[in-house]
């Protein structure tokens, strides 16, 4: 488990299925992530998530579910990718930045990763700003999932200098 000033970040479990359903069913959350997914096999999704590093982000005070952050293999098959989804009622409050920063620190310090990437649609201004505010830089743009995607990257050395 990780903690920040306001967040508890802990491994997702089956108890998170209802919260994960909310993430995948929310049009705003899924606008740049391929659209709403209401027909997913969430129990099967939890099994797949168990093979990745998936964390639920909650309010440290009362346990309210804010969203999720993960580390998994990027589409290129080489890099580790940080991904995140947060419920809209928690946007603009700094929770995503706080949680993603904690996961980046975990990845670089505890897992001894040398590089972490993030992929987001170029049109997703909020996500692009978040990644840039964390010190990530656009390394390349690709066409994937029917949209232009920005691939952001950050090295361990860059993170240690900036944090």
Quick: pLDDT tens for 78-107. 999 999 999 899 999 999 999 999 999 999
E strands, the chain, where? 2-3, 7-11, 53-59, 65-73, 80-86, 115-121, 137-144, 147-155
- Each of the 163 residues of the chain gets a pLDDT tens digit; together they read 899 999 999 988 778 878 888 877 777 767 656 666 666 555 555 555 554 568 999 999 999 999 999 999 998 999 999 999 998 999 999 999 999 999 999 999 999 999 999 999 999 999 999 999 999 999 999 998 788 999 999 999 999 888 7
Q: What whole-number distance in Å separates Cα of residue 15 and Cα of residue 82?
A: 22
Look at the chain and count its residues.
Answer: 163
- The two three-digit tokens of residue 23, written as one number: 């993430």
Query: What per-residue confidence (pLDDT) applies to 20?
Result: 80
Paired strand residues for 85:
68
Q: CA 20, 30, 71 angle in degrees (round to 5)? A: 60
């Amino acid at each position: 488990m990780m903690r920040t000033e306001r967040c508890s970040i802990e491994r997702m479990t089956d108890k998170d299925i209802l919260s994960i359903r909310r993430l995948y069913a929310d049009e705003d959350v899924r606008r740049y992530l391929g659209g709403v997914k209401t027909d997913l096999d969430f129990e099967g999704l939890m099994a797949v998530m168990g093979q990745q590093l998936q964390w639920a982000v909650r309010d440290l005070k009362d346990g309210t579910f804010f969203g999720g952050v993960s580390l998994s293999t990027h589409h290129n098959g080489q890099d580790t990718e940080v991904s995140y989804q947060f419920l809209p009622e928690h946007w603009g409050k700094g929770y995503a930045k706080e949680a993603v920063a904690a996961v980046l620190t975990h990845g670089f310090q505890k897992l001894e990763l040398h590089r972490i990437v993030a992929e987001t649609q170029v049109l997703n201004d909020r996500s692009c700003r978040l990644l840039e505010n964390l010190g990530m830089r656009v390394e390349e743009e690709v066409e994937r999932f029917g949209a232009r995607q920005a691939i952001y990257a950050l090295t361990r050395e860059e993170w240690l200098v900036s944090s």
